[in-house]
Chains A and B, each alone.
Chain A
Amino acid sequence: MSKDKLVADIYCIEPIPCNPCETSCPFGAIQVGDDITNLPVVDEDLCRGCGICLAICPGLAIRLIQDGYKDGTSLVAFPYEYEPIPEKGQTVRVVDMQGNELSDATVIKIQKPLKDDPTRVVYVEVDSAVAAEVRSMKRIKEAAEEDIVICRCEEIGMKEILTAIEKGDRSLNAIKRRTRAGMGLCQGKTCSKMISRMICEQTGIAAQDLEPASKRQPVNPITLGTMASTADRPLILDLDDLKRELES
């Protein structure tokens, strides 16, 4: 069935009690009826292809399609809720219902049809031969550039520290409070100097003008039980008392 204008194509297949597609459509183009488990029906004459129903459908079961977008291509739109969002002009891989890659497609535009909802609708130009099968696109995964670990105990990377400096942190304590770098088992023994150097490099502050991070007790990690155990003992004022306490 050829669509010569952009219209909603609903592939809602279950009698789920649900009708936001009907109520959200500004043109009254979708019918569900009083029994909200009914499957929706699109009136293609009324549909303007605005994409609102794509963004509101909780099942992500609606797409837009226009055949003959250009010579031999179709325009298909689908909701997309992953980060990062593709960019206009980017080549993506479109997929069918099973996630099988069908072909390359070019992103024509990205819309956010609902004002208060982040769901994007991605419009792609795709070979008409596969357009009928297109349901979504292969998720884009940024080739995550391996970050360099600065604080090993809390696993804080260089990027996070640089971001903290960019946001205005100018001391080890500020960075510690924002990122937790230096709050782990070693209490900053490994990372403090590296972070100091980064602050100096990024801001031009001289190393001697940086205060050391606050050092708190216990200076090494111990259990609360160990800490509390001193309460059961007298204050030791004599080496013989100490020996006695150690033996008991």
Chain B
Amino acid sequence: MNNSKIDLLVVGAGPAGLGAAIEAAKRGAKVLVVDENARPGGQLFKQIHKFFGSKEHMAGTRGFTIGEKLLQEAKEHGVMVMLNTLAWGIFKDNVVVVKKDDQSYSIQARKVVIATGATENGLSFKGCTKPGVITGGAAQTMVNIQRVTPGERILMVGTGNVGLIVSYQLMQAGADVVGIVEAAPTVGGYDVHANKVRKAGVPIYLGHTVVEALGANEVSGAVIAPVDCNFQPKKEEAFQVECDTICLAVGLSPRIDLALNAGCEPIFSPVLGGHMPWHDQRMRSLTDVYVAGDVAGIEEASTALEEGKLAGVAAADDLGLLGSEERDTIYQEIESRLNKLRSGLYGDKRRVAKLELMEKGCENHEQR
């Protein structure tokens, strides 16, 4: 039974969560957003670089400015945002239990959007638990939010966009990047990002991996080695680099814990970061539960925002808040923006993976 007057509860105030909240609230839904962090915006507020895309994606705008705009918009449409609030469980009939100040509150909503984002992948090697080994996201939070550099001489592991951007931003913050290690034979992220660090003279060790963090009590260097075709390090060709920080930017995984507890079906896609909850073309994963953003497959912030908008519109639609005229155009508009973001050499793979995922799920659903 669901007599809630809360139309939509959104877990996660990143771009996807805020996008969903705004679109639903715009159409008259009463919306609550909860986020475990002290400030909303997800990762947007540490994105001090300008985003790609086109005008409709706010391209050329820096991430934190997009975050500010979203917050302003959410406020204008009467979205209630609860911060420092952890959604720790989801139960029957859309009851989400949240924790704030050591107190739990059970909140029922008619629809739920799960936009819990991602977690950073780990990498284990000898000495990887020494102080000085951190993740790329942690380094980015330190330099761009807390305004401290994690170290003076940093070895980055991973050439995805996170590894490249964070390397660049660490240098902007005054640190040196002594090199970037990448196990694959090619750079993972955009070449323009790679060129930003190349121009700064940072060596990129392609086909290499880090095998050991050196140092008695904290990192004082790293041993890196080329990898063979099975990605196993060739130890006889290993060499040392001096550094005080080893920064791991080796990919993200959808944060699916809450979604799976809601009953969503896990689907696997290596392109999109591993297991993620199945969803249909309108981000619906269960009758009343939608997923959006990185939790629904690792992409990037602009895509997360559009997916969030799609989920918000779909929720409003399912709540009967969408006019029939609008229905004819709005989905196409969002879909067209999403397709643009998922085009080109990099984006196309994600678009295909996303389609496969939805179809795979359909088959599984039918089999049941």
Contact = CB atoms under 8 A, between A and B. Distances in A.
Interface stretch (A61-69, A98-106, A113-121, A221-229): A221-229
A236 B36 contact: no
A90 to B, nearest CB: 28
B32 interface: yes
Contacts of B256: 212, 215
Contacts of A211: 266
B6 interface: yes
Interface string A42-57: 0000000000000000
B104 A187 contact: no
A222 B124 contact: no
Given A149-B128, A212-B266, A220-B86, A239 B102 contact: no
Interface string A228-248: 111001011111001101100
B266 A194 contact: no
Interface string A201-223: 00000011011100111111011
A191 B122 contact: yes
A152 interface: yes
A193 B129 CA distance: 17
A163 to B, nearest CB: 16
Contacts of B255: 189
B89 A219 contact: yes
B314 interface: no
Interface in B39-56: none
B261 interface: yes
Contacts of B258: 215, 219
Contact of B268 (A191, A192, A208, A216): A208
Interface residues of A, number: 43
A187 B80 contact: no
Interface string B82-109: 1000111110000101011011111110
Contacts of B106: 230, 233, 235-236
Pick the most buried of A158, A219, A233, A246: most chain B CB atoms within 10 A of its CB: A219
A230 B108 CA distance: 13
Nearest to B135: A190
Contacts of A223: 102
A219 B105 CA distance: 15
B80 A158 contact: no
A148 interface: yes
Contacts of B260: 212, 215
29 contacts: A146-B127, A148-B126, A148-B128, A152-B122, A187-B257, A189-B253, A190-B119, A190-B121, A190-B122, A193-B121, A194-B124, A207-B268, A208-B270, A215-B261, A216-B261, A217-B88, A217-B89, A219-B89, A222-B99, A222-B104, A227-B104, A229-B103, A235-B106, A235-B108, A236-B108, A237-B5, A237-B108, A238-B5, A239-B30
Given A233-B105, A235-B95, 15 more contacts: A150-B124, A187-B257, A194-B122, A196-B274, A215-B258, A218-B89, A219-B89, A219-B257, A219-B261, A229-B104, A235-B106, A236-B105, A237-B4, A237-B6, A239-B6
Interface of B: 3-6, 30, 32, 36, 80, 82, 86-90, 95, 97, 99-100, 102-108, 119, 121-129, 253, 255-258, 260-261, 266, 268, 270, 274-275
